[in-house]
Amino acid sequence: MKKQLLTILMSVVPTVTLAAGGGVHLDDAPIDIADMESVKRGAKHFVDYCLSCHEASYMRYNRIAMDTGMSDGELRENLIFTTNEKGEPTKVGSLMKVAMTDEYAKKAFGTEVPDLTLSARARGADWLYTYLRTFYVDPNRPTGMNNLVFPDVSMPNVLGSLQGIQKAVYKTQTRQGVEVETVDKLELAQPGTMTAEEFDAFVADLVNFMVYLGEPVQNERRSLGVKVLIFLAIFGVLAYLLKKEYWKDVH
Ligand code: HEC
């Protein structure tokens, strides 16, 4: 039985590591989901740079306002720039939808544009943080750009003006007797409007917001968890004292 288990484990483990790694190193996303100021900045970046294509169709604008402490006025100033079908300004309680249809997206990008509400849960924060920072020039792609963690991606490099344009430095590796060219590292070929540190901080805020999107109640869940544990500890002590009191004359 033990031997069988070991065989199963040995056959599963290598596939698991391959699937997770994909051969590309993921950078640790320096995010703090309890930092609501960062989530607020990230929400603005998301609306400015992502919402034109991607929706977050399970999130309402005023939920973000409530969680990050924004007034309706601030919400209108910072996050809501769309109008509804009748041309009226989007209501503060609306879902974060975009006007682009799937048919249009298919024509423009050759694929549908995924909803990003749950993308942090599906891909993980480190994957997102690395993805958004590793676009590089590749003349063989229709957009002129490729990506380290999402090879042959059809999303344009929308943050290129901030980050600058990166070029790949290739190295030749021998894999199973065949020589293949792989990307060794990325180098900044043309600077953007931000320094590397500023851009990393910008993406961290954006990823922090996307993690929040995936589970808006996670901060409440955590603080409730702590309260439950404190309650259980106090209750435990009381129950113990009560038990001692009841049994005091029996012994
Ligand atoms: C011009 C349209 C456009 C904009 C703007 C845009 N994206 Fe994309 N994005 C796409 C398309 C198209 C895909 C699908 C890529 C594919 O399947 O090859 C995509 C894919 C993605 C994915 C991968 C989803 C998955 O798990 O497969 C993520 C994450 C993502 N985008 C995040 C963002 C973020 C964050 C922003 C804002 C900084 C952004 N995108 C802005 C068009 C866009």
Model pLDDT, residue 83:
81
Kindly state if the Cβ of 128 falls inside 6 Å of ligand 1: yes
Could you tell me the mean pLDDT of each successive run of 10 residues in the chain, 251 residues long? 64 48 82 95 96 93 93 91 83 89 88 93 96 96 94 95 96 88 93 97 98 91 92 96 90 64
| Contacts with 98 (C-beta within 8 Å, 6 or more apart), sequence order | 51, 52, 53, 54, 55, 82
Alpha carbon nearest to ligand 1 atom 10, residue? 155
Model pLDDT, residue 136:
97
Pick from 41, 51, 54, 138 the residue to mutate for probing ligand 1's pocket: most ligand atoms within 8 Å of its CB: 54
| C-alpha R_g of the chain | 25
Model pLDDT, residue 193:
97
Model pLDDT, residue 101:
85
CB of 213 within 8 A of CB of 117?
A: yes
- Torsion, CA 187, CA 189, CA 195, CA 198, rounded to 10: -60
